Structure 1
Amino acid sequence: MSRVLAADLDIAQTTMIASAGLVIVLAAIVGYVALGIYRARQTSADAEQYRALAERTADAEERTAEAVSATTVELQGMRSELRATRDELVEVRQRLAELERLLSQIG
């Protein structure tokens, strides 16, 4: 009888150890799955933030391109005004030189 009782105790201990092992393995699996879900959510949130940042960057680039275009047009206008002013200055210098020549002939 003691052999049967000892065998029953061994089986009970083995069952307890196996049950504890299964619980630990199950907890590890649940933890691993939960970690995967958490990482997926974080990746999704990061992707949303990246997408928003990319949109803001595209908008900023578009505004910069428009500003550069407007500045280019403005600079072209200023360049043509500068050329006209330079031409006028050349003409004034020529007239002044003529006046000086006339004054030197008179005086």
Structure 2
Amino acid sequence: MAELSTIAAAAVVVTIIAVAGFVATGVYRARYAATRDGGYRVLAERSADSAEAAAAELKGVRDELSQVRERLAALEKLLSQIG
């Protein structure tokens, strides 16, 4: 009988250790995933900021290009009147 209670106690201890190990593994994975997701969020924010900055700069280039086209058209008109 003593052997049976010793085996049962050992089985209970092993089961508790296994459950604790699985829980610890799950907690570790959850923390790691949260950290990784936080990094992805920061990267996505930086990407969005870069896209907005590029769009603003592109708008400025388009505005300058339209001004250059207007000046070129005026210059062509002046040159056609002269020559």
TM-score, normalised relative to structure 2: 0.90
Rounded Cα–Cα distance in structure 1 between residues aligned with 2:41 and 2:9: 47
* 2:28 alignment partner in structure 1: 38
1:60 and 2:50 matched:
yes
Choose 1 or 2 for highest CA Rg: 1
Give the 3-state SS of the residue equivalent to 1:81 in structure 2. helix
Rounded Cα–Cα distance in structure 2 between residues aligned with 1:13 and 1:82: 102
Deviation of 1:88 (Å): 2.2
1:85 alignment partner, one of 68, 75, 78: 75
Rounded Cα–Cα distance in structure 1 between residues aligned with 2:24 and 2:32: 12
Equivalences, count = 83
2:18 alignment partner, one of 5, 11, 28: 28
RMSD: 1.1
Structure 2: give runs of 5+ residues left out of the alignment.
none
